[in-house]
Chains A and B, each alone.
Chain A
Amino acid sequence: MSSSNPLRDPADRRLPRIAGPSGLVIFGVTGDLSRKKLMPAVYDLANRGLLPPGFSLVGFARREWQNEDFAQEVHDAVKEHARTPFREEVWQQLIQGMRFVQGTFDDDDAFERLRGTIEELDKAQGTGGNFAFYLSVPPGAFPVVIQQLKKHGLADQSSGSWRRAVIEKPFGHDLKSAEELNALVHEVFAPDQVFRIDHYLGKETVQNMITMAEDIGIGGRAGYYDGIGAARDVIQNHLLQLMALTAMEEPASFDADALAAEKTKVLGAVKLPKDLGRDTVRGQYAAGWQGGEKAVGYLQEDGINAKSKTDTYAAIKLEVDNRRWAGVPFYLRTGKRLGRRVTEIAVVFQRAPHSPFDTTATEELGSNAIVIRVQPDEGVTVRFGSKVPGTSMEIRDVSMDFAYGESFTESSPEAYERLILDVLLGDSNLFPRTEEVELSWKILDPIEQHWDKHGKPAQYQAGTWGPVEADEMLAREGRSWRRP
């Protein structure tokens, strides 16, 4: 459409990408994610003028709410969590398109009401039949909702309109379940209308050492987390995606197909270590102190079986079997209750084959490194050696920092903002595809199977950087983890 729009001109770079007429339906709208991330992101998009006129937001949940109660809930969520200031006129624009549909996921009447609501919005708001369904629901409820959408004709696209599904991790818990899930979703939605959210890919920044650490425990997620563990929860999606982006060759262009092609090549070329016991480590946090607060151990958390073997820490070594990365190890680690919350990608360089300095001069010199900080404090750090001022010769590590200007303020766009906008625009650049999800499980499944059969997680004190076994794993190869 826009190609024939005389007001659009590629040279006119001030004009932002605005989504076409559309609406967003959120299932599980009373949940934390919805209140803390999705609703504020929708408001922030509207505030930045990136949503189409008439954009509509439909909430679906069990709660006995009227439209006004829902609007009030969104209002409170926006006031509390939105990053841009609250402005009445933006709110007035949004509130006209807000609806709430009450019901459970197996309630046929509710889905009929949802269809009625969508038809009413097409008339009143001009949404043109274009709706994205955001499934912010527990994995168990997933098949039901998808089937209900199909049964009530909500996934049917007609006369140039679109229907899209947005799904959150976990995309299954192993290869088999992921395949089943994909089959289920694709039976209802075409592959290019399915958007898998990996919010790390929406960040402004995105060796081969990838760390994702959280300072929190499992909080109230015992039911979900136990039996899943850190590797499935984080490595399968976030870390393998970041690794694919880091290791991929330059894509022919930045469009979704070219990007997916390069990422798929890397994931397909990943080689697991021969000795899984030696080159993977899993751990569980034990009681300790984290950031000045006392923390209980994982096995003592409410709702966790005292004999649970679930990993709250995972570190693995991978290789990418292609010409560029031959012989370069990739170390991925993630954990809960670590020193602090941080996600980063560190490329650690080899030492130069010859150093003109005396060994005494370079005793304190480490390896040069480039660190891409994904969160918090997005930016890049370069570490290199510099002479310490004075008459004696001593070279020591210094680091040079680049911080994204925007990170100085609250006005750095939230990942969810970008991703929701991309869904409405139909731009699938930043969303992992079916093949990528399945390849990731192919990498992780053998490791999980090995862990099931052998040993149990190593214990590490809460508030530290993980179990000593992980340090030993690197020390065996003459390396050490970077302290993030």
Chain B
Amino acid sequence: MKIDLTDTTASKINKAMVKGRRAIGTPAVGMVLTLVIVTDEENAYDALKAANDASREHPSRTLVVIRRVSRSPRDRTKSRLDAEVRVGADAGTGETVVLRLYGEVVGHAQSVVLPLLLPDAPVVVWWPVNAPLDPAQDPLGALAQRRVTDTYASEQPVRELSARADAYTPGDTDLSWTRITPWRSMLAAALDQVTVEVKAVEVEGEEFNPSCELLAMWLADRLDVPVKRSLSSGPGLTAVRMDTNSGPITLDRADGSLATLSIEGQPDRAVALKRRETAELIAEELRRLDPDDTYASALRFGVDRLNAPDGKSGAKGTAPGEAPAAKGESVAAPAPVEAAAKAPAKESAAQAPVKKATAK
């Protein structure tokens, strides 16, 4: 059922929720978390639909915070909160409140959200678009254990990745990172099958897709070898090529759904690697609410260290501006093959923390 409230307050909304639950005869609250979606009117529908689908796996109270644009100075001084309370079949497996904020209250959204959070249960904030550059410092972000951004939706995704790395606070995460879990999982499975030493990696994908950079940085961080980011026309990620001491390992996905895994000395195999819907991404994101250290480590590796002739050097020495210029060109590394060969793959994991410390 739906209850519309115009020019209302958080306490009236709470009352409406209790009333709604009573009316449908299920007064018990079995929800596991509060999901706050901060968005604009344009993206609200899709985001809420994804959240409702994800709520099948994670029953939650979903609060959609929509900041309305006021067109005149007079409107901007007036403050108004409208709410739409949905419980039962209209709200997935939890309950949903769509909050529309006008005027001054737009700047104080946390005052509306705070009283509506489920007691004790964890809070997740998700910005489908226009995420703040420092999510943990954002008044809404400060309420949450987990802050989900989506760099893919930004104008300059690669630059934004650097900003995210600088502002990283435990609990931050990004959907462009979530998108590559199947790739990471398949690459790890490929290295389970053969004991080899990786010498260099190339990650190929469409431009303006931060997932490619994140995957490249994760590989560079874990393998401690030079990683090249090259461009293709997509869709999304199209290939990862690992150059190893016993021939190449390639994971190639030209069509965005079915990929081919080729390992030297083994038959080619088809693997399903379909690009996933937002609902699946959100569901994965809500499965674990503790800080994602692997993401932090990959993100902090730094976009500007990709394509460098040596994965280890030039950490902060490279001016940020130089990186985009190098992107796309084949910066083949003649020397590092030797250098990397000396560092057995086993040691790279042990080295990682040291390396991180120096990178800061």
Q: Does B28 belong to the interface (CB within 8 Å)?
A: yes
Contact partner, B258, options A4, A52, A92, A408, Cβ 8 Å:
A92
Query: Which of the 9-residue segments A15-23, A254-262, A309-317, A335-343 touches chain B?
Result: A15-23
State in angstroms the CA–CA spacing of A11 and B266 once bound together.
Answer: 30
Chain A 374-428 interface residues, beta-carbon cutoff 8 Å to B: 400-403, 405-406, 408-409, 411
Whether the Cβ atoms of A14 and B57 lie closer than 8 Å is: no
Please indicate the chain A residues that have their CB under 8 angstroms from the CB of B11 in the complex. none
When A6-B191, A9-B349 are in contact, do A14 and B294 touch as well, CB less than 8 Å?
yes
Chain A residues positioned under 8 Å from B284 (CB to CB): 14
Instruction: Give the contact stretch, choosing among B267-275, B307-315, B318-326.
Output: B267-275
A405, B58: Cβ atoms under 8 Å?
A: yes
Contact of A49 among B56, B190, B272, B345 (CB under 8 A): B272
Cβ–Cβ < 8 Å partners of B222 in chain A: 6-7, 9
Query: Could you tell me the distance between the alpha carbons of A8 and B185 in the complex, rounded to whole angstroms?
Result: 9
Please give the distance in Å from A193's CB to the nearest CB on chain B.
20
Kindly report which residue of chain B lies nearest to residue A46, judged by CB atoms. Answer: B272
Assess the A15–B184 pair: CB atoms within 8 A: yes
**Complex alpha-carbon distance, A80 and B195, angstroms:** 40
| B178 proximity list for chain A (CB < 8 A) | 14
Question: Cβ of B74 < 8 Å from any Cβ of A?
Answer: no
Known contacts A20-B192, A408-B56; is-contact A7 B187 (Cβ 8 Å) = yes
Closest A residue to B219 using CB positions: A7
Taking CB as reference atom, which chain B residue is nearest A47? Answer: B272
* A5 lies within 8 A of B258 (CB): no
- Given A6-B345, A403-B30, A405-B58, A96 and B185 contact (CB-CB distance below 8 Å): no
Chain B neighbourhood of A87, CB < 8 A: 272, 274
Within 8 A of A (CB), among B75-103: 93
Asked if B261 is at the interface (CB within 8 A of a chain A CB), the reply is yes
Q: A124 CA to B269 CA in the complex, in Å?
A: 9
A52: chain B residues at CB < 8 Å are 189, 193
| CB of A392 to closest CB in B, whole Å | 23
B245 at the binding interface (Cβ < 8 Å): no
A293 vs B13: C-alpha distance when bound (angstroms): 47
CA distance A4 to B197 in the complex (A): 10
Separation of A301 and B283 alpha carbons in the complex (Å): 48
Nearest residue (CB) in B for A124 is B267
Q: Tell me whether A123 is interfacial, beta carbon within 8 Å.
A: yes
Given A7-B184, A15-B184, A403-B30, do A54 and B59 touch, yes or no (CB 8 Å)?
no
- The answer to whether A53 has its CB under 8 Å from any CB of chain B is yes
Q: For window 287-339 of chain B, which residues contact chain A by CB distance below 8 Å? A: 288, 292-294
Is A286 positioned at the interface, with any CB of B under 8 Å from its CB? no
The size class of the interface chain B forms with chain A is: 35 or more
Contacts of B261 in A (CB 8 A): 53
Q: Are A7 and B191 in contact (CB under 8 A)?
A: yes
> With the chains together, A395 CA to B53 CA distance in Å?
40
**B267 contacts A93, CB within 8 Å?**
no
Task: Confirm or deny: A477 has a beta carbon within 8 angstroms of a beta carbon on chain B.
Answer: no
**Chain A residue contacts of B223, Cβ below 8 A:** 6-7
Query: Does residue A126 face the partner (Cβ distance < 8 Å to B)?
Result: yes
The reply to whether the CB of B182 lies closer than 8 angstroms to some CB of chain A is: yes
- Residues of the B chain whose Cβ atoms lie less than 8 Å from the Cβ of A53: 186, 189-190, 261, 269-271
User: Do B193 and A20 touch (CB < 8 A)?
Assistant: yes
How many angstroms from the CA of A11 to the CA of B352 in the assembled complex? 13
Is the CB of B346 closer than 8 A to any CB of chain A?
Answer: yes
* Most chain B CB inside 10 Å of its own CB: which residue of A46, A124, A408: A408
Point out the residues of chain B lying under 8 angstroms from A4, CB to CB: 195, 345-346
Check B257 for interface membership: any CB of A closer than 8 A: yes
Beta-carbon contacts of B173-203 to A below 8 Å, as 1s and 0s? 0000010011011111111110100100000
Most buried by B among A7, A15, A46, A87: A7
A 87-103 to B, binary, CB cutoff 8 A, 1 in contact else 0: 11110110010000000
Assess whether A7 is in contact with B188, with CB atoms less than 8 Å apart. yes
Cβ of B348 under 8 Å from chain A: yes
CA distance A413 to B232 in the complex (A): 37
A408: chain B residues within 8 A (beta carbon): 56, 59, 93
B270 and A126 contact, CB distance less than 8 A: no
A252 at the binding interface (Cβ < 8 Å): no
B5 is an interface residue with CB less than 8 A from chain A = no
Interface presence of B32 (CB below 8 A): yes
| Of A4, A14, A54, A89, most B-chain CB atoms within 10 Å | A14
Cα–Cα distance between A13 and B269 once the two chains are bound (Å): 26
Assess the B258–A93 pair: CB atoms within 8 A.
Answer: yes
Does the CB pair B348–A93 fall under 8 Å? no
A306 at interface, CB cutoff 8 A: no
Known A5-B192, A15-B185; contact A409-B56, beta-carbon cutoff 8 A? yes
Q: In the complex, A93 Cα to B182 Cα: how many Å? A: 15
Residues on A with beta carbons closer than 8 Å to the beta carbon of B273 = 49, 89
Give the CA-CA distance A18 to B345 in the complex, in Å. Answer: 21
Contact sample, A vs B, 24 pairs, CB 8 Å cutoff: A1-B195, A2-B192, A4-B345, A6-B198, A7-B187, A12-B294, A13-B288, A15-B185, A18-B185, A18-B192, A20-B193, A49-B186, A89-B272, A89-B274, A96-B270, A124-B267, A125-B269, A126-B193, A128-B193, A401-B28, A405-B58, A406-B56, A406-B57, A411-B57
Among all A-B residue pairs, the 8 with the closest Cβ atoms: A7-B188, A53-B269, A12-B294, A409-B56, A89-B258, A54-B269, A89-B257, A90-B272
A interface residues, Cβ below 8 angstroms from B: 1-2, 4-9, 11-16, 18, 20-21, 46-47, 49, 52-54, 87-90, 92-93, 96, 123-126, 128, 400-403, 405-406, 408-409, 411
Since A6-B191, A11-B294 are in contact, a sample of 4 more A-B pairs with Cβ atoms closer than 8 Å, ordered by chain A residue number, is A4-B346, A89-B257, A92-B272, A405-B32
